[in-house]
């Protein structure tokens, strides 16, 4: 029995390199054999002084470290899609503690899944680690939260700024009531009362969607002609008042801006020139560690010059991922910029940039699906291709075959065929009812069911409008509505039977 086993230490199944020069132990007694150089370059704040030489015990569990350490080696990073909030928060805290930026970036993106369910925790995390974007997303969602629930959760400076922000919206609710026009109509009274009840929650004014719903409340009786102008005027006055409320800015959080890392003048430096001739100076050790597509620097004491074909804007972004500084946000980058960054990241094998681009690219699925499919196929982004398949189900195979290699095209074509079969069966079942009156409905539906994606919509034609329209005509078939409802049920069953697209 070796020494670790005798101490009850289990070995990590992922990290047991024979040439490792440092041993890390988790809080639940799992050991990790790692490489010091990787920790020095990938982690900006790892305990690697002489006191910890050779061995180091960390406060994180093996469940967290198993994921965290996969980000310190040059490789395609693991997905965090399956982590629940608790596990993701622990991983994010570890990434911040040791400044492993690739992990931190992935956690920030994944936090979006929990912005509505774990808002208070995310605001506290954003305030603690100076993620202003996370705080700004959380703040409007917390305007209904009682102050005692946040006073112990937020840092004093953040708490003060947030209470002032919240107070603006509480006062706006009161001002909305004061702007209410006075009118003696009973229907108007009911309408105003229903709105005023909702103003107990400031969130109805903060969110535009809630604001519209606030004035579109369902009244027991339709507003009279005398009430409509007053309702529109009230809504206009409130909208104007709300527009004067200061927008949420930083709420006491100043996020450190991303940028190129400061240079160690004692280390080897490399000059890289953009296509426009702009010069970037990077440390050779970072270039060699974070990338695989640049030539190795043979003489680190001399400044090597490399000329690249990418633009200055693309390289400015790319090189910010070749450091232990906080990565730049791609949240406001357009598709063309992210596409160019993706191509450069893949060309020079910059794994942190590849990781960040894949997150941002998913947000262009509705706006640039075809271009995204081409890019995903080129670089084997299988996850993105799987997500695009339902969105591009109408694309003719003659176009798909030009974009996808065979190992993607074959399952894609089979998947699309299943939707075409479903469309055919659904159409046949709809026409399986002989009634001249029902034929009018069939024609209307068939106009809409002219492509596979039409089956995915939740807004299938409603029988009720058709039946009311023709209910006064003699000879109507009493079984039409029954047949139509059965057909709708069959449609759901048929669609549920279609397997998901997998590669």
- Cβ-proximal residues to 296 (8 Å cutoff; 6+ apart), any chain: 288
Report the C-alpha gap between 247 and 261 in whole angstroms. 32
Greater pLDDT, 433 or 86: 86
Express each pLDDT in 349-359 by its tens digit.
999 999 999 99
Q: Among 304, 339, 364, where does a domain finish?
A: 364
Give the pLDDT of residue 328.
Answer: 92
Reported as a pLDDT band with limits 50, 70 and 90, residue 31 is very high
What's the mean pLDDT in 439-454? 81
Percent over 90 (pLDDT), the chain: 48
Asked whether residue 442 carries a pLDDT value surpassing 50, the answer given is yes
Asked whether residue 101 carries a pLDDT value surpassing 90, the answer given is yes
264 belongs to a structural domain: no
The residue segments making up the domain with residue 359 are: 269-364
375 belongs to a structural domain: no
| Residues 126, 234 within the same domain | no
| Residues 284, 190 within the same domain | no
Give the pLDDT of residue 156.
Answer: 86
Express each pLDDT in 319-354 by its tens digit.
999 988 889 999 899 999 999 999 999 999 999 999
Give the pLDDT of residue 473.
Answer: 47
Give the pLDDT of residue 154.
Answer: 86
Residue 96: CATH number of its domain? 3.30.710.10
| Residues 231, 293 within the same domain | no
| Residues 164, 119 within the same domain | no
| Residues 320, 427 within the same domain | no
473 belongs to a structural domain: yes
Express each pLDDT in 266-293 by its tens digit.
557 889 999 999 999 998 888 888 898 7
| Residues 87, 180 within the same domain | no
Q: Among 225, 243, 261, where does a domain finish?
A: 243
209 belongs to a structural domain: yes
Give the pLDDT of residue 467.
Answer: 46
Percent over 70 (pLDDT), the chain: 84
Give the pLDDT of residue 162.
Answer: 85
Show the DSSP H helices in 379-479 as ranges. 382-388, 397-400, 406-430, 436-448, 463-470
Greater pLDDT, 278 or 435: 278
102 belongs to a structural domain: yes
Contact call for residues 114 and 85 (beta carbons, < 8 A) = yes
Express each pLDDT in 231-246 by its tens digit.
899 999 998 998 888 8
| Residues 44, 101 within the same domain | yes
Reported as a pLDDT band with limits 50, 70 and 90, residue 180 is very high
145 belongs to a structural domain: no
What's the mean pLDDT in 437-446? 76
Give the pLDDT of residue 426.
Answer: 87
| Residues 7, 113 within the same domain | yes
Reported as a pLDDT band with limits 50, 70 and 90, residue 297 is low
Give the pLDDT of residue 301.
Answer: 47
Express each pLDDT in 405-429 by its tens digit.
999 999 999 999 999 999 999 888 8
Asked whether residue 466 carries a pLDDT value surpassing 60, the answer given is no
Q: How far is CA 502 from the centre of its chain?
A: 21
Show the DSSP H helices in 61-182 as ranges. 62-68, 85-98, 101-110, 119-128, 132-138, 156-178
| Residues 41, 117 within the same domain | yes
Total of domains in the chain: 4
Give the pLDDT of residue 256.
Answer: 54
95 belongs to a structural domain: yes
What kind and span of H or E run contains 315? helix 312-318
Express each pLDDT in 52-66 by its tens digit.
545 678 999 999 999
What's the mean pLDDT in 148-167? 87
**Beta 55-57 vs 22-25: how paired, if at all?**
parallel
| Residues 45, 122 within the same domain | yes
| Residues 160, 227 within the same domain | yes
| Residues 210, 163 within the same domain | yes
384 belongs to a structural domain: no
Q: What is the mean pLDDT of the chain?
A: 85
Give the pLDDT of residue 465.
Answer: 45
């Amino acid at each position: 029995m070796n020494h670790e086993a005798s101490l009850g230490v289990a070995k990590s199944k992922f990290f047991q390199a024979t040439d490792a020069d440092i041993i890390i132990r988790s809080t639940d007694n799992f050991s990790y054999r790692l490489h010091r150089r990787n920790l020095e370059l990938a982690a900006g704040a790892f305990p690697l002084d002489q006191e910890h030489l050779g061995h180091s015990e960390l406060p994180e569990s093996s469940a967290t470290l198993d994921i965290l350490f996969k980000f310190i080696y040059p490789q395609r990073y693991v997905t965090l899609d399956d982590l629940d909030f608790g596990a993701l928060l622990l991983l994010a805290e570890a990434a911040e503690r040791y400044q492993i930026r690739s992990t931190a970036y992935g956690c920030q993106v994944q936090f979006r899944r929990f912005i509505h369910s774990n808002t208070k925790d995310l605001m506290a995390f954003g305030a603690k680690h100076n993620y202003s974007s996370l705080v700004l997303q959380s703040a409007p969602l917390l305007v209904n939260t009682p102050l005692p629930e946040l006073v112990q959760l937020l840092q004093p400076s953040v708490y003060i700024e947030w209470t002032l922000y919240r107070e603006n919206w509480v006062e706006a609710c009161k001002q909305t009531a004061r702007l209410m026009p006075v009118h003696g109509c009973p229907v108007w009274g009911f309408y105003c009362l229903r709105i005023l009840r909702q103003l107990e929650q400031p969130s109805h004014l903060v969110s535009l969607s809630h604001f519209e719903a606030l004035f579109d409340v369902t009244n027991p009786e339709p507003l009279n002609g005398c009430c409509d102008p007053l309702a529109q005027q009230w809504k206009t006055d409130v909208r104007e008042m709300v527009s004067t409320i200061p927008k949420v800015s930083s709420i006491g959080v100043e996020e450190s801006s991303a940028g190129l890392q400061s240079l160690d003048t004692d280390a080897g430096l490399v000059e890289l020139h953009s296509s426009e001739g702009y010069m970037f100076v990077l440390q050779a050790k970072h270039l060699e560690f974070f990338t695989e597509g640049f030539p190795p620097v043979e003489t680190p004491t001399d400044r090597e010059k490399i000329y690249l074909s990418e633009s200055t804007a693309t390289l400015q972004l790319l090189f910010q991922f070749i450091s232990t500084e906080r990565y730049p946000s791609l949240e406001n980058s357009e598709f063309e910029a992210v596409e160019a960054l993706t191509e450069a990241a893949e060309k020079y094998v910059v794994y942190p940039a590849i990781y960040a681009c894949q997150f941002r690219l998913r947000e262009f699925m509705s706006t640039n699906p075809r271009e995204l499919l081409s890019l995903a196929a080129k670089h084997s982004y299988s996850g993105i291709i799987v997500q695009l398949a339902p969105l591009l189900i109408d694309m003719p195979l003659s176009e798909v075959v030009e974009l996808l290699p065979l190992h993607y095209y074959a399952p894609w074509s089979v998947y699309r065929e299943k939707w075409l079969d479903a469309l055919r069966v659904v159409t046949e079942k709809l026409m399986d009812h002989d009634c001249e009156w029902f034929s009018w409905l069939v024609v209307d539906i068939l106009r809409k069911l002219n492509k596979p994606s039409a089956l995915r919509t939740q807004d299938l034609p409603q029988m009720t409008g058709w039946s009311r329209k023709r209910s006064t005509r003699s000879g109507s078939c009493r079984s039409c509505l029954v047949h139509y409802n059965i057909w709708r049920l069959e449609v759901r069953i048929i669609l549920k039977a279609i397997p998901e697209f997998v590669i």
